[in-house]
Every structure is written in C-alpha cells, then in structure tokens.
Amino acid sequence: MKYSVLLIGFVLSTMAMTNIALYAQDDKLNQFSFEDVPTEEAKPPYFAVSAGFISTWLFTNVTDLNTLTNSVTGKTYNSPVALFGVEAFAAIGIIPNVRVGFMSIGNTYTLQGAFASTSLTQQTEYSINMNGFSIDYAWTPFKGFSIIPGVRGGWGAVNYEVSQSSSTTQTYPIFPIASAANSMRRMRSNMLFALPNMNVEYAFTLVSMVRLNVGYNLSFMQEWRADNASTLSGVPTSINASGLTAQVGLFIGLFNN
C-alpha cells in the first residue's frame, strides 16, 4: 500500500511537470512569427536595353606610317588614335546576366604640308573604322554598379591616302588628271578584329548610365590594295589596328541594376 501511494504520487508529479512544460512551449509558439525568420531576397538578373555614344582611344603603332607621312607633309600622326561612334545593347534575361550588342566606331585624320620649292600642297589622310558585335556578362556587386567582362568582334578597314595638288584653279571634269602635279594614291586593307575588354558601368538613374572600358584590340589585316585595284606588297606589318584601348561612354535606356 505504501509503494502504491508513492507510485501514484510520482505519476501525478510527472504529469504536472509535463503540463507546465507544454504550456511554456505553447506560450513561446504564440509569440513566434514567420516574419521573424530571416529570408534572402532573390536578386533579379541584370536587365538593360540601351544605346549611346562611345569614345575609344586606340594605342596603335604609327611608327612606320609616320615614316611615310613625314616624307610627304613634314608632320606625323599621334597615338592613341581617337575613334568615335555608337553602341547599342540588350540584356533581357533569356540567358541570365548575358547581354549582346552592336558597335560602330571610326575616325579620319588629315595632315597637310606646303613646300615652297615646288609650290605644291601635299596631304595625307589616315582613317580607321570598325563595326562589330559584342557579348558580355554582367556582375552587379551593388545597386547601380556593374563589372562587365566581354568581347567584341567584327570587321573594319584601315585607309591611307596621299595626294598633292597645285595652287592653280582646276576645271571640271577633274578626270583625266591634266597635270602630273595633281595626283592621289591610296592604300587600303580590310580587316577582322577581336577585342576582349572589361567594362565598369554605373547607372546613376533608371534611364542613364556611364561607362569606363579597357581592352586590347587584335586586328587581322587582309590583303592591301593600291588605288582600290591592284595588290600592294611590302606594307609593314606594324601598319594595322592592333593595340590597347580605353573607352568612355554615355548611354540612355532602361536599367534594373
């Protein structure tokens, strides 16, 4: 009888303590809210649809080109060569953070010299133009700021023209050339190019963005042609459009970064 009373007392004590513990847990559950659970917000992929103006400086070798230029005009071209143009691109989420675009840049430089001994004006004209497509991958470490490696590739041309003319008035038509003093020669090579580069971009509003870009252009020159007709041999390989590049750009469009 004594042990039965003790057993009943132990069971009742255990049940009482269990009820107290369950009540305490229920009380904590009532205080719990799913709003208190930290959640990681899913970051949307990079989105941009834009177009803008770009200025690119090409640090190409003009040493051999200037050897010829100096003999004609007494002047020389400078490197880097500034190329101006436009670029448009879009990243619409088909492949997350990948964008594709199109660019077109170019410029023409002219040098002129007059030689008193011949009374002739001599001129050289040097131009580079490049057109191509781009593919980039965007990484946005914080809102508005993106680091975007990529590559551009396409086609273009390098042109170089030498002309001389007398100061006398000419009459129409200008062909055939009436005087040996008035003449013009041209050499041209089409090219393919590949331009790996790194963009650093900041969208300072929802619809505007600025860019800084560095890269290296690899040009693959094709056959040189003289006066748009015959093949020209012996052109120094340094006359090309290869070299380091630096670029700034201003774009207008839509950006979610």
Q: Give the Cα separation of 51 and 209 in Å (integer).
A: 10
Residue with tokens 């992929």: 45
Q: Give the Cα separation of 95 and 252 in Å (integer).
A: 22
Question: 240: which residues sit within 8 A by CB, 6+ positions away?
Answer: 60, 61, 158, 191, 219, 221
At 23 the three-state DSSP class reads: helix
Cβ-contact 108, 127 below 8 angstroms: yes
DSSP per-residue codes, 147-185: EEEEEEEEEEEEEEEEEEEESSPP-S---S---TTSEEE
Tens of pLDDT, residue by residue, the chain (257 residues): 444 444 445 444 545 555 554 454 555 545 555 455 555 556 778 999 999 999 999 999 999 999 999 988 889 999 999 999 999 999 998 899 999 999 999 999 999 886 655 677 889 999 999 999 999 999 999 889 999 999 999 999 999 999 888 766 777 666 666 666 778 889 999 999 999 999 999 999 999 999 999 999 999 999 999 998 899 999 999 999 999 999 999 999 999 86
What pLDDT sits at residue 182? 78
Cis bond leading into 173, ω under 30°? yes
DSSP 9: H
Question: 155: which residues sit within 8 A by CB, 6+ positions away?
Answer: 130, 131, 132, 190, 191, 192, 193
Residue 66: CB atoms within 10 Å: 18
What pLDDT sits at residue 19? 52
Architecture of domain 48-255: Beta Barrel (2.40)
Q: Give the Cα separation of 86 and 56 in Å (integer).
A: 10
Cβ-contact 89, 100 below 8 angstroms: yes
DSSP 116: T
Residue 109: CB atoms within 10 Å: 15
Cβ-contact 130, 154 below 8 angstroms: yes
Q: Give the Cα separation of 38 and 132 in Å (integer).
A: 47
Cβ-contact 225, 232 below 8 angstroms: yes
Q: Give the Cα separation of 234 and 231 in Å (integer).
A: 10
